[in-house]
Amino acid sequence: MPFPANMSVSMERLARELNVLPQDVTEQFVRGSGKGGQKVNKTSSAVMLTHLPTGISVRGDQHRSQALNRREAFKLLLLKIEVEKRGKESKLMRAAYKRKKQKDRRSRRAKEKMLKDKHHHSDIKEARKPVL
């Protein structure tokens, strides 16, 4: 099985870096699931890919097109293999870490805003006190 014809150059480069060979990947076309009714029930447009050396298996069934599902499944397979081989240095893990840091930053900003509002409310209450 060759790599998908419409695979991006960056994905091909990643496959070479990870030593993922086309003959190491088994491909199976199965029926999709979810919305789509009769069309989904009749056609085998979902793709299941298994990388034999690592045993990682993925399924692509987001699109109605078999070719698009094949490309998406291959992308996902490469990302999962990268996570297994590189761990924290992988693209997926770096993106997850970045999202976590952004959430932390947001919560810090939210805390500062809350304290500022508390201060403002305290100032208003202080101004209500009678002057002696």
- Say whether both 78 and 128 belong to one domain: no
Tell me how long the chain is: 132
Burial label, 89 (beta-carbon count in 10 A; 0-12, 13-18, 19+): exposed
Q: Is the CB of residue 48 less than 8 Å from the CB of residue 57?
A: yes
Q: Is the CB of residue 29 less than 8 Å from the CB of residue 45?
A: yes
**Assigned domain for 44 exists:** yes
Give tens-digit pLDDT for 61-92.
Answer: 888 888 888 889 998 998 888 888 888 777 78
pTM of the model: 0.65
Q: Is the CB of residue 69 less than 8 Å from the CB of residue 47?
A: yes
- Say whether both 62 and 96 belong to one domain: no
- Say whether both 20 and 74 belong to one domain: yes
Question: What's the CA gap between 101 and 96, in Å, rounded?
Answer: 9
Residue 6 three-state SS:
coil
Give tens-digit pLDDT for 7-56.
Answer: 778 878 888 888 888 888 999 988 877 776 777 677 888 899 999 998 99
- Say whether both 64 and 102 belong to one domain: no
Find the helix or strand (DSSP H, E) in which 58 lies: strand 56-60
- Say whether both 81 and 101 belong to one domain: no
